[in-house]
Structure 1
Amino acid sequence: MKIKRYFAPTMREAMRRVREEQGADAVILGSESRDGGIEVVAAVDYDEALLQQAVRREPSRRLSEAPLTPIADDDAPSTPPSESRPREPAATTSGERGSTRRGQLVWAQDPQLKRLQEEMQGVRRMLSETLSQQTEAALRAHPQRARAMRSLEALGIDHELARELAAHVPDGDPSKHRNLPLSLLAKRLKTVNPLQLARATRLALVGPTGAGKTTTLAKLAAKAVADVGARNVALITMDGHRAGAEAQIGVYARLLGVPLRVVRDAKELRAALLACADCSHVFVDTAGLGPNDQRLARLLPELARLGNDPDIALCSLLVLPANVQRDDLISASARFAPARPMAVVLTKVDESTRLGPAISALIGCGLPLAWLADGQGVPRDIHRARAGDVVMRAVWHARDARQRESTLERSQESAHA
């Protein structure tokens, strides 16, 4: 590969020199505006296979193809320097994909531009860290804010969220603002009244494996039976992959006196929902699949499409366990986002030592919370979620956790003594 730099007062003049010296097969590696003109880096006799391999190895260095415009004519309009920058790849047909045609230029990032981008990213990281340290110092300088931040983090609230909320605590008498951090937290937590979901009479429960979808479905179905009667309620299960799943939901169906249908895919699910048109409430239990399961990737968009079908109007509820870490909950919410869940059911609240991670995850993903499930009892252990009640539960859980830790420490000290 022969690489050469060209400096000219205008882009048109630079391109003319490139074409005159290196021909129409020249590759423009980059360009940069300088004092008095523009500098273009061009190459010829490049190895296309190595170039494409480099693109696959470094996705951040995108290549795009642009037709070579005639620039030898004096009356051709000059190209402004801004248009000489690397362009985003244009859409190509299948026949053009992976090939560079004669008479076209391949635009790539100049190594100098790459280094400049890396330096800018380093500056951004440094500024972010500096601002974070300044915010931390400002919080420490205000005892009330520092106390608020410690109290929120004691609940298990994410550090960044706790710092953001504590920054709104004003100076003054601490007794007047003692509960302000909890109030601010409750305002950030979105909840939805289950009565507002009453129009969603076709509900599909989605969520990770072991989240408690089947038990939650039984609780919701039992409430519906109590409200509208067993003849107006039906259950559908798609969980045929887990051993004993059909038997478990079959037991609930017999106890509630409602029909149960077993389906394998979205096509059978649509047919089953149409067959249950006379039922006012239909609940669908989906399989708890792993993050890398391809069946999950195919199922979730199908559920969203059934929601757009006016004859079906299927809505999804995301079931998340409260006894896992915040990052796991955020990852699960992103994984099931293609199903377009309308709300969240937070399960295993009784098995969680701290509710702060779950609250932080719900605020982070922006989904409203509809129900809390705190036991295996059907239907008694499911409750409407109110933001203030959820925050107070988080306070009680943190208090109980501290008491257990103190008891454990005393018992260990006694054992060593």
Structure 2
Amino acid sequence: MKIRRFYGKDMREALKQVKDELGDDAVIMSNKKLNDGVEIVAAYDKEPTISTKRTAPVTTSAPKQRVSSTPTLSEIIGDSGPDSLRALLEKQIHAKEASSQSTQSAPERPKPQGVNGQSHAVKPQQTPQMSASHAPQQNDALNEMRQELASLRNVLQFQVAGLLQQDKGRNHPLHGYLTNKLQKMGISQALANEVVSYTPAQTDERQAWLFLLRLLANRIQIEESNLLMTGGIAVLMGPTGTGKTTTVAKLAAQAAQKYGAENVGLITIDSYRIAAYEQISTYARIIGCSVKKAQNAEELSDLLFQFRNKRLILIDTAGFGQRDVRLIKQLETLKQSTTANIRSYLVMQANCQYQVMQQTISAYKQISLQGCIFTKLDECYSLGEAISAAIEHKLPVSFITDGQKVPEDLKVADAKFLITSAAKLYKKHVLIHTSDNSLNNAAVAV
């Protein structure tokens, strides 16, 4: 099977060239409309017999630019063409069917269509076999190109962000220095950029640093009336290991010292942790107050009715992570309680990662939070993360704990104390001239 191309000004002239050159047995593979004519691809099995009536082929140079859409043969010559042309096309179909076995070896040969009012020629394209074999390779290549483009975009974004940061540092060196100090103290980048933008223009580094610390202290919300002052019903919730039960015991002990043990009641709905009730009952026995256990919302409502005459009622809950499905069930139990005015407090470790605090607050905000309690301040190397989470979520801070002693290690939250503690931790553990590790490395280098 051999293939030749013919060019003509129109379809009739090109078909005439095919008939004169290859004879009636030639098979038209495809046709394509060009800017200055028509191109026909024809195939033949044997050398054609040269006709004495053959005219010189019209050679036209292939155009540089081709039209993307290919009209059909009927659109070019119309259905009013000569009968000899229609007969020629029908004869080509019969010839193709007769030589189907020999033409299977030609991969680019398309399957011709009928001629009843339709064009015999098709757009030049790959056969289904070739398309099926090359499709996975093309998809893999496209996916690889997309991944490379995405990687380049990420790198460019990182470089542009770095250039912008360098430009900002050159234009406002003091702002860049203060932002870096706040981030090392644990303050989130967004909050650090926000507060630094308020720095007075004409000021030195020390005055600007003190101004930022005072500004952060003013941004921290502190609960105006805490539990020990007003009493009422409060539920303490939070992830596991944050010290909820110990905090409940500290609050109950301080309330018993202030109002008397008979005016304090404890309730636990922690039915998951082993010996949870035994632990809180031990604290209640030492303090001298009443303690009960509730399994569901109905029992909780009954116990709250029994304790209705007490000044302070504290509810201890089971510790669940923000992704634990049992957390939703516990929150629903609290929502279904018929007792009004239950104040909810979120207990969080002050030494947690910033992202963990963000996710925890978002998960427990399904119910209205009255405030939060930061625990384990004595185990912190940085307080900026807790401060950032409280400021950004506008969550009031009620109490802080800094040890295991009951009830001494519980304090009413104070914004100035939190900022001062954060600055001291930064100076002690982050600054180069106060870091033991940096001093050791410097000695080794010398």
User: What TM-score do you get using the length of structure 1 for normalisation?
Assistant: 0.64
* Aligned-pair CA distance for 1:305: 4.8
User: What TM-score do you get using the length of structure 2 for normalisation?
Assistant: 0.60
What is the alpha-carbon distance in structure 1 between the residues aligned to residue 190 and residue 315 of structure 2? 37
Is 1:163 the counterpart of 2:186? The answer is no
5+ residue gaps, structure 2, are 1-152
- Partner residue of 1:324 out of 339, 352, 356: 352
Deviations 1:372-416 (A, max 9, x none): 111111111111112122111101111221379722344567789
What is the alpha-carbon distance in structure 2 between the residues aligned to residue 293 and residue 379 of structure 1? 31
- Partner residue of 1:407 out of 418, 436, 440: 436
CA RMSD of aligned residues (A): 3.1
SS in 2 for 1:315: strand
Q: May I ask how many residue pairs the two structures share in their alignment?
A: 293
* Aligned-pair CA distance for 1:140: 4.2
Q: Is the 8 A contact 2:228 2:251 kept in 1?
A: no
What is the alpha-carbon distance in structure 1 between the residues aligned to residue 170 and residue 356 of structure 2? 30
- Partner residue of 2:327 out of 296, 299, 302: 296
5+ residue gaps, structure 1, are 1-122
Partner of 1:35: none
Q: Which one is further off, 345-354 or 404-413?
A: 404-413
Partner of 1:263: 294
Q: Is the 8 A contact 1:270 1:312 kept in 2?
A: no
Equivalent pairs: percent with the same residue? 31
Is 1:178 the counterpart of 2:206? The answer is no
Partner of 1:65: none
Q: Is the 8 A contact 1:194 1:371 kept in 2?
A: no
Q: Is the 8 A contact 1:200 1:314 kept in 2?
A: no
Partner of 1:279: 310
What is the alpha-carbon distance in structure 2 between the residues aligned to residue 391 and residue 218 of structure 1? 27
Call closer, same or farther: CA 1:259–1:181 in 2, change over 3 Å: same
Partner of 2:278: 247
Return the letter of the residue paired with 2:198: H
What is the alpha-carbon distance in structure 1 between the residues aligned to residue 240 and residue 274 of structure 2? 13
- Partner residue of 2:417 out of 389, 397, 404: 389
SS in 2 for 1:338: coil
- Partner residue of 2:178 out of 137, 144, 148: 148
Deviations 1:62-99 (A, max 9, x none): xxxxxxxxxxxxxxxxxxxxxxxxxxxxxxxxxxxxxx
What is the alpha-carbon distance in structure 2 between the residues aligned to residue 250 and residue 136 of structure 1? 59
Query: Which residues of 2 match residues 109-128 of structure 1 at below 5 A?
Result: none
Call closer, same or farther: CA 1:265–1:295 in 2, change over 3 Å: farther
SS in 1 for 2:257: helix
Return the letter of the residue paired with 2:223: V
Call closer, same or farther: CA 1:161–1:374 in 2, change over 3 Å: same
SS in 1 for 2:430: helix
* Aligned-pair CA distance for 1:177: 2.7
What is the alpha-carbon distance in structure 1 between the residues aligned to residue 158 and residue 371 of structure 2? 33
Return the letter of the residue paired with 2:295: R
What is the alpha-carbon distance in structure 2 between the residues aligned to residue 274 and residue 354 of structure 1? 43
* Aligned-pair CA distance for 1:171: 1.7
Partner of 1:379: 407
Return the letter of the residue paired with 1:408: N
Partner of 1:220: 251
- Partner residue of 1:337 out of 347, 365, 376: 365
What is the alpha-carbon distance in structure 1 between the residues aligned to residue 162 and residue 391 of structure 2? 21
Q: Which one is further off, 367-376 or 167-176?
A: 167-176
* Aligned-pair CA distance for 1:274: 0.9
What is the alpha-carbon distance in structure 2 between the residues aligned to residue 408 and residue 374 of structure 1? 26
Q: Is the 8 A contact 2:235 2:314 kept in 1?
A: yes
